[in-house]
Structures are given as C-alpha cells and as structure tokens.
Amino acid sequence: MTTRTAEKVLSFEEALAGFDPTMGLEVHVELNTVSKMFCGCATGFGAEPNTQVCPVCLGLPGAMPVVNEKAVESAIRIGLALNCRIASWCRFARKNYFYPDMPKNFQTSQYDEPIAFDGWMDVEVDGETVRVEIERAHMEEDTGKSLHVGGATGRIHGADHSLVDYNRAGIPLIEIVTKTIPGTREKAPLVAKAYVAQLRDLLLALGVSDVRMEQGSLRCDVNLSLAPAGSGQLGTRTETKNVNSLRSVERAVRYEIARQAALLQSGVPIVQETRHWHEDTGVTTSGREKSDAEDYRYFPEPDLVPVAPSTEWVDELRASLPEPPRERLARLQREWGFSDLEMRDTVGAGALVLVEETVAAGAAPGAARKWWLSELARRANERGAEVADLGVTPTDVARVQALVDEGRINDKLARQVFDGLLAGEGTPDEVVEGRGLAVVSDEGALSAAVDRAIADNPAVADKIRDGKVAAAGALIGAVMKELGGKADAGQVRELILAKLI
Amino acid sequence: MPEITRAEVAHLADLARIDLSDTELDHLAPQLVVILEAIASINDVAADDVPPTSHPLPLTNVFRADVVRPSLTAQEALSGAPVEPEQQRFSVPRILGEEA
Amino acid sequence: MTELTRRTAAELAEALASGETTSVELTQSHLDRIADVDAAVHAFLHVDAEGALAAARASDERRASGPPASTLDGVPIAVKDVLATRGLPTTCGSRILEGWVPPYDATVVARLRAAGLPILGKTNMDEFAMGSSTEHSAYGPTHNPWDLDRIPGGSGGGSAAAVAAFEAPLAMGTDTGGSIRQPAAVTGTVGAKPTYGGVSRYGLVALANSLDQAGPVTRTVLDAALLHEVVGGHDLMDSTSIDQPLPAVVAAARQGATGDLSGMRIGVVTELTGEGYQPGVQQRFDESVQLLVDAGAEVVEVSCPTFVHALATYYLILPAEASSNLARFDAMRYGLRVLPEGIEAPSAEDVMRASRDRGFGDEVKRRIILGTYALSSGYYDAYYGQAQKVRTLVSRDFAAAFERVDVLLSPTAPTTAFRLGEKLDDPVAMYLNDLATIPANLAGVPGISVPSGLADEDGLPTGVQVLAPAMADDRVYRVGAALETLLTRRWGGPLLARAPELAPALRGASA
Ligand SMILES: [Mg+2]
Ligand SMILES: [Zn+2]
C-alpha cells in the first residue's frame, strides 16, 4: 500500500513562486505526572510490558475513570502560559473509533469544550516575531504501543500479527492546536520548527513534561495546505503525523510544500488525508483517507463529571507560572552579555536551555555558548540530530570548560573529550583519564621539549633573539607536535621567550 | 426525521464493526424504522433554550490526587487474553491501515 | 426446602446472631435449594458452592471469636452477572464474555465480601442488561417461579427469580430503566433502585452510564434497606458517586413497618396510570392507594407531562451510551475471538467484525446500531442532543411534583408477567414494559417496587412503585415498608407464600 519511492517534488523556491503555504500544528504533550490520567498506574518510561496497567487503563468491563488533579492543573498552567482563556466549565468527551492499541475503543478526550482556548505564542525567527495563534489546548489520554511481528522491517505492513503493551495507555496528554498560520511564505518551515522548539522550552520551564521528542513525550502533527500565490484562499490540507524531532518539523513542512506544489502544478488536486513522515528518507507517505472513518460520534463522557475550575484556583496557578519567554530572553541576554546575533543563534540552535543550564553548572556564558553552538551543534548536524538529543549534558559541558580553566586540558583536547563523551566513555574526567588527554604540565618535560625545539630550529631562535617575537609560533608548533598537542600553548610560549630573550 | 435505509444500516454496522449478514440486515432495517418512528415524537418536545442533561446529578470537580496505586500483575492483566500472549504482550491479528 | 430458606435476611441475621444457625448451615441449605429448583428456574449462570462455603466458614469463625463484620455477616447473596467478581466468571449474559474471569471486584462486590456475605453465584440477565424479560440471555431464559412458562422480568430476571424461588435470601441487581423494579413486580419480590450515585458503579459493566444504578433485590423492604446499607455510600473509584452520608434507609424501613403514614404527602402520577395498564394491575394499584390513605397519607394526583416522552428519550440515550460502552468487546484483550470464515490471514479489523457478529445477540446488535445512528454526525442534535434536553424536562417535572408531594406512586409495570417468547420479535412492545420505571433513571431519583397482590385475570403478581427526590431514599423505604405491612396484614402473610411449590429436581440432575 505504501509507496516508499519518493514522489515528484518541486524545488522549495519553485513551489513558493507559485503557491502560498498555510499550516497548522498539533502538538501532543505527555505530562510528567507520576500516575495516569484516569487511574493510579505508574507512568515511568521503559517498564516491563503490561506491568503498569489496571482495570481502568486496560478498559476492562466495569472499570471507571477518575481524573488526575495534577493533570488538570498542568493543563490549566499550559493554557495560561499560552495566553489562553480557561474554561469555567468543561467536560470530557468520548471520541469513538476502533483501534487495537486503544483499550476502550474510544479515547477519553475533550471535544467542543476544551479546558483552554484562544491563546497565542510569539515565535522568533531570524529576528522577526511571528504570532502563532492557539486555538485550544485540551486534555486526553495516550494509547498503548504495538510491536509488529513477522514483517521484514518491523513495520505494520507485511507484519502477520502485532503485540500490544498497554503501559502507555492512559498517560495524560495535552493536545495543543494552533489556528492556521498564514503568510509565513519561505519562513514556514522555520516558523514551524521555532514554534515547536519554543513550546518545548516553555513546557520545560513549566515543569509539566519531560518533552523528550525521541521518547515520544512530545509529538507533532503538521497540517499543511497550499493556495495559488497571492490568492488569499485556503487549499485542501494534509495532516502529517509522526513528526518527532525539531529537525523533522522543519523538513516535513518543507517537503509537503514541495510535494503538494508538484501535484497542483500538474493539475492533480490534493486529497485530504493523513500522511506519515519518515525520518530516515525525509518523505511523507499516504496513510488513510479521511472519510466516514472520521465519524467519531463524540458525546460527553458520562462517567466523568464536568471540570469547573474556580477563579481562585486559576489565579493561584497563574501566580505560579514561570517568567514569560520574551521577558526571559531579554533577561538572559542582559545577564550573559550576548549580542543580538549571539542570542538569536543560541535560540535558533535550540540551545537556550542548554546554555542556561551550563551556566548554572558554573561555566562562563561565552564558553557555554561556544561549546554548544560550535562544537556540539556541528556534531549534531553531522548526525542529523538535535543538539539537545546528543546525550551530552550541560553538566558535562560545564565540567569540560572547568578542566580548560584549570589548565588541565586545552581547547583542542576538549574537542577530544567531547568525542569520548559521545562515544559513551563516561564523565569528562573519566574521558581525560581514559584517553590520557591531560596537558603536560611537568616543567622538566616541557623545558626539555622547548630546548630540543630551539636546537632543531636555530634560525628561528635567532629571529626571536633579534626581537621578532612573532616567530615564536613556529617553535610552539614544534613543541606541541612533539608532545602530541598535550600542552598549554601559552605556557610553552612563555618558556620559549624566557629562554631566548 | 430521516428514514433509515438498508444501506444506512450497513454503514452503521461498519462503523460499529459488526459483520452483519444479509439476512440480519434485511431483518434489522425495518425494525429500526419502527423503533425510530416510535421515538421520533421527542423531536418537538424541548424548546431551544432547554439545556441538555448529560449527568443526572450536578457534581463537578471530582479528582484524585496524583498518587501511584498498585497495578495488576502482567499475569492478571493478560489473564483474559483470547490467545496466548507473546513477550508479555497481547497478541492481536495484523493491524491494517496506519503506519506505526 | 428447609425452613431456613423461607426466612427473610433480617430473620436469618438474627438466627446467626443468636447462634440458632450457622452461616455454613444456611449457605448449604440455599445451595441445596439451588440444586433442587434451578434446573427449572435457571436463575443462575454460575454457582460457586466452594467459594460461598469458604466465606460462610470464615463468617462463622468471625462470629465465634468476636463481633460480626456487618449486620448481614454470614447471610448468603446472589449477584447479577453484570457485576465484576474477582475469580468468578462474569459474562453479562453474553456469549462474547463467555468464561471471562475478572481480575478485580466491583466495589459493590468488595463491600459484600468485606461485610461477610457469602456469594452463592452469578444470576442470569438479558445480555448486557438489554431487555425486560431475561430472554435475551445468551445462556437461555430464566423462568418465573410463579409460572415457569412466563418471563421473570428483566434485565435482572435471574436475581428476582432467585429470591422469589427461595434460592437466595438476597440478591444484587442493577437498574438502568427498571431492571430491578420491573422483575420485582412480576415475581412478587421487592426491588430498590437507589439514587443515582448512591451505590458505586465501579465494576458494574456499564449499559448506559448515566442511567445505571445497582441496588438490592429481596423479599422484604427491610431486607432491601439492610443490603442497601452494606453496599451503598461514597466510592472514590466512581467519579459520579455522591460524597454524602447514606440516607438512614434501615431506620426508615422500620418506621414505615409500623403502618403509620400520617403527614406523608403522596402523588399519584397521572401519566403512569390508566390507559395501557392491565386491569388487574390497575385494580391492585388503586387498592394500595386506598390503603395508604387509610394509613394517614394525603394522596393527590400529580401530572408530569413530559413522562410520556420518557420512553423515547430513554431509547435514544441508552443505545448511544451502550454503543460506545460495548465497543471494547473487540476480541483483542479478553472475551470471544472469532476468525472470520473464508478470509486468509484476517486483519484485526476482520476479527473484530466477525467476533462482534458472533458474540452479540440480536437485541444488542439492534441497540448498538441504533446508538451508533443517534450519535453519528448529522443526527446527533436531532437524536441524542434532543433526548438530553427532554431529560432536563423530565427532571423538571419531578422537581415540580416534589414541591407538592413527598413521594410519587405508580404501578411498577403495566402488565403482569407475559409468556416466554411472546414479545421477543417485537422490540417496541418489549420496550413498553419499562414505561413507568424509566423516568426515575432519567432524573436519577430513587425508587422501590413492592408487591401489591395478584391480578385477578391471571393470578400473577403486580407491583407498586414509590419514587422520591434524589438522596431521599429513606422516603421510598418508609412508604414501601408501610404498604408492605398493610398488604401483608390483609393477605395474612407474605405474597410469596401463595406462589406454587416448585417440584424439586432429582439431586445431581441439575448441575
Ligand atoms: Mg487528540
Ligand atoms: Zn491503570
């Protein structure tokens, strides 16, 4: 059914010449409550299959849900942080459809009465602010997880049966839906990515979710449509699921623009359908067509009573909100002394929180930025991953910088420490130890190496004796070469000058 | 009030995931028409300003604290499975339609 | 039949307290009675002799060494098969749940166990409680002990018949549109539907969540009140459970048993009498009203105009909620799995369709389709949405009536027990049985049905229903007990004493 071969696409530039993209983003956030949305089962990631289930989340006959208060609280806080209005009275609803990973064959969700609605978030892209309007944020529950057996690829197609683990079923989700975002043109992919990145930072600051995209605790669906450039119309949209990294958000938007443009240009109408994003190949493929299968037969969940947050409760939660993103950015820029450009690059690389935490762990802001934005961002890029997902922690980075500051390693050795960290060789200190990376600080050994360099390069030594200090570079190079780079260049230079002048 | 046709019943059976036979469809469609006629009377009973009742008692805000309670054991959870579980998971026939 | 099985639960509790009998003895005597008559009655789907006797032994040991766990400690009970029982099969009368053994107890069941009541077994019912005759059970119908060719009412015909046939002194039922009260009426027993939220629904396999309520099925009003006190009250596992102390139902039943109703204002519901009610039913009802007047009650006629739409409203709300509740029976995690014929390597979807076709009976399919229709896009407002509005009007009718009177009164069911098979293929005729009981479920108010005598034309039991405002369950017990006392005096003994003797089957033939 699925065609794995890439469809015909236009170049991004060509696509935009003919069409205006409009997008909408749906983000599902798993809350970090210790128990599930409607039962007391634990929510920890990675437990043995079907050990965090009970009659309620297994949908056993007779079982009944009870709402987790912390989840409602988190939903309201998210709503407030997104500048939403909070419903004074709302209900849960049943969304009826059959799927083996959904124990009751309905999802307990919210329909026309979301807990939060009509909000916005300002997103910074290339120094420009784009206001993303939030339609709603509502509470619902996650599904179980299927493992497909018998197929060659472990995928659903070709599998002869599936194995279902319901540990994830019933974990609280907040679904955050934007209104359509028009008029972003060539910036659309970046706006999408920046929105998700900024939302992630916000959720992290709220402390309501682990927001681990690679573990699925933050998942994104991209709705995208094209209309003839300048027409002001709205085209038929596709809904791309499974866009589960920041990088993919940008790529998926870019790909759908190019794909839809190619179809429209050759006169083929867009079908309203669900599509699936493939991280590996960078394409979307057709899922099911939206048709009568979409008749979810919503109705108010009779087993749950309405949620009616009091003004006092909402005010209390509002008072507990962290600093709003813009104010926070301004404050951090002030505290760190970054230029506008430095600040923008930091945000753009998805490294704001990482830098913040690295600074909190003791590193100077400039050093923290340098490591995350140059060294680690480059490696993330090579791997097609997000810098946050490399597995190197802010504490690690702060420690590496501390080792440099202590003179135990130099910048060049520090890069090798990062190699070791990425290779899973332990803590920075363990990598330095294991790889023997500490600089030679033994005065005798250094002095001997300098003497040899002077002896080997008499002409250079003479120049320096004549006052041409700049020539010292050649001797430093020779010393470093002999010591395999494990020396502090400044210290070597001082030694050379002391011996010759 | 719309009449319910045989085709419509077939569609509803599809939505409800019930494999109705032709005989069952033949039997069911006219019965549903009779039932719908019998209940059609309510259409003009309530004025637009009457609020709907979804819950018989006016309770709100019934919550539980975010506290972990013991789950079933995997063995208990899987005890009703219609076929032998594999890898401590429920074994279900191949799933159509969506990419996981 | 031993003399023990004829006694009321209250009497048995006294006999246990005085040491006249033991729980093992009276549990065994009920198991013997089941062995004697259940082949003919078929009230039980599953009998748990071993479990019941073990609980009885534990109860006797408890009494020997200290205070009992409750007033009913040691008195055995039968439980409708719609309540989840850990370790005991729970089928809801459906093929799709054949052999399912829940890994957990319903709250009601947990409270019964904690109170020391041995569970004799699980009683028959219309499949998923859809029906008024127990003929829609996948395991065959239950027979009315008054006439084995007739229905015992439904959906809780098994619980009512078990109590009427002296197979159990107490039973648990559930009432979504009358499934406790209507079987009580046609079997000459007592059935009480508590206020919605008064008894936990956790572990009650939902038919229509906003209507369902579990309650006692007994032979006397006092027994019903005693059982109500054991199972009722707030439950954290049921979000719709009322977080208030239970009304003093036992005290009310004792007060009513004095036969004095001075100061009580009683309303007879115009829309629930007269036309459509069998003459013998109406006659016994009118006599009951006169008795209440004689007992000092002030009786007036009260009109509840929206009640005529209650049946239609109910048959939209119930199927809608049920269609969603029953979606979970999909052959994936529990229950029947059927592989469709003629399909190689069937998908999960194929298996769901085939299993649901084979596993559900006709009435269940009928209501699932109807509910799916009522909720589907384009029809929701006209059907489900409209029904929810009429529901509001029904509640307003009750509210207005209860400003004038303390309780409302009507016949429980429009007819006496009809013959098995008589209405099986006429769903609308079948639905009419619940005409009088449904309004209480729509509004969530409590009700009780007590025997009012035998209809002249067929000699079969009739019942009177008493309804009260939400959380005023005590009133239905008071009025019900008064009526019971006055009628029993007139009859010179309980109505059930007039039921025909059931011929004991040969021991062993009725396993
Ligand atoms: Mg959703
Ligand atoms: Zn659970």
Q: How high is the ipTM of this complex?
A: 0.96
pLDDT at C228: 98
C376–A295 CB contact, under 8 Å? yes
Ordered by where they begin, the domains of chain B are 6-45 (1.10.20)
How far is C371 from C365, CA to CA, in rounded Å?
A: 10
* Burial call A311-338: b when 16+ CB within 10 Å, e when fewer: eeebeebeeeeeeebeebbeebbeebeb
pLDDT at A350: 82
| pLDDT tens string C305-331 | 999 999 999 999 999 999 999 999 999
B89–A147 CB contact, under 8 Å? yes
Cα(first)–Cα(last) distance of chain B, in Å? 41
Contact C308, C390 (CB under 8 A): no
A302–C202 CB contact, under 8 Å? no
Q: Would you call the peptide bond into A286 cis, given omega within 30 degrees of 0 as the criterion? A: no
Please give the average per-residue pLDDT across C403-428, as a whole number. 94
In this structure, the dihedral spanned by the alpha carbons of residues C164, C169, C175 and C177, taken in order and rounded to 10 degrees, is: 20
Contact A56, A39 (CB under 8 A): yes
Please provide residue C85's backbone torsions phi and psi, each rounded to the nearest 5 degrees.
-125, 120
Please give the average per-residue pLDDT across B60-71, as a whole number. 98
Q: What share of chain B is helix, strand, coil (3-state, %, to 5)?
A: 40, 10, 55
How far is A295 from C316, CA to CA, in rounded Å?
A: 18
Query: How close C106 comes to chain B (CA, Å)?
Result: 15
B55–A53 CB contact, under 8 Å? no
Q: Is A408 helix (H, G, I), strand (E, B) or coil?
A: coil
| pLDDT tens string A130-141 | 999 999 999 999
**B41 to chain C: which residues are within 8 Å by CB?**
309, 312
Instruction: Look up residue A455 and give its amino acid.
Output: A
The more confident residue out of A293 and C95 is C95
pLDDT at A447: 85
A164–B78 CB contact, under 8 Å? no
Whether residue C149 has pLDDT greater than 80: yes
CATH of domain A443-500: 1.10.10
pLDDT at A289: 58
How far is A21 from A493, CA to CA, in rounded Å?
A: 58
Q: Say which ligand is closest to the CA of A59.
A: 2
pLDDT at A293: 56
pLDDT at C509: 43
C119 CA → ligand 2 middle, Å: 27
Q: What are the CB-based long-range contacts (under 8 Å, 24+) for A149-156?
A: A149/B86, A150/B94, A155/B99, A155/B100, A156/B94, A156/B95, A156/B97, A156/B98, A156/B99, A156/B100
Residue B39's pLDDT band (cuts 50, 70, 90)? confident
Residue B90's pLDDT band (cuts 50, 70, 90)? very high
Q: Which residues, other chains included, contact A489 with Cβ-Cβ below 8 Å and sequence gap of 6+?
A: A410, A476, A480
Nearest to A239 by CA among A24, A493, A46, A384: A24
Note which residues in 24-83 of chain B have CB less than 8 A from chain C.
24, 28, 31-32, 34-36, 38-43, 45-46, 50-57, 59, 62, 64, 72, 76-77, 79-83
Please give the average per-residue pLDDT across B44-49, as a whole number. 89
Whether residue B99 has pLDDT greater than 50: no
Closest residue on chain B to A148 (Cα): B94
Cα(first)–Cα(last) distance of chain A, in Å? 79
Closest residue on chain B to C322 (Cα): B16
Of C100, C236, C384, the CB nearest to A66: C236
Task: List, for chain A, all residue ranges whose pLDDT scores fall below the cut of 70.
Answer: 1-6, 151-158, 288-293, 441
Is B66 at the interface with chain A, CB within 8 A?
yes
Of C103, C332, C444, the CB nearest to B56: C444
Please give the average per-residue pLDDT across C21-34, as a whole number. 98
Residues of chain A with CATH 1.10.10: 443-500
Q: Is C290 helix (H, G, I), strand (E, B) or coil?
A: helix
How far is C62 from C56, CA to CA, in rounded Å?
A: 10
Query: How close A37 comes to chain C (CA, Å)?
Result: 13
**A70 to chain B: which residues are within 8 Å by CB?**
65-66
Nearest to C199 by CA among C163, C155, C237: C237
Residue B43's pLDDT band (cuts 50, 70, 90)? confident
pLDDT at A2: 43
How far is C172 from C112, CA to CA, in rounded Å?
A: 10
Query: How close C364 comes to chain B (CA, Å)?
Result: 11
How far is A294 from A328, CA to CA, in rounded Å?
A: 42
Q: Which of C373, C383, C397, C438 to mutate to test the interface with B (most CBs of B within 10 A)?
A: C373
pLDDT at A157: 65
Q: Say which ligand is closest to the CA of A142.
A: 1
Percent of chain C past pLDDT 70, that is, above it, reads 98
Average of per-residue pLDDT values in chain B: 90
CA atoms within 13 A on the CB side of A290: 13
Ordered by where they begin, the domains of chain C are 3-307+391-510 (3.90.1300.10)
Of A33, A162, A276, the CB nearest to B95: A162
How far is C124 from C14, CA to CA, in rounded Å?
A: 29
Residue C52's pLDDT band (cuts 50, 70, 90)? very high
CA C446 to chain centre: 13
Please give the average per-residue pLDDT across C206-230, as a whole number. 98
B17–C330 CB contact, under 8 Å? yes
How far is B46 from C458, CA to CA, in rounded Å?
A: 40
User: Of C70, C80, C122, C193, which one is the catalytic site residue?
Assistant: C80
Average of per-residue pLDDT values in chain C: 96
Please give the average per-residue pLDDT across C333-356, as a whole number. 95
- DSSP bridge partners of C83: C204
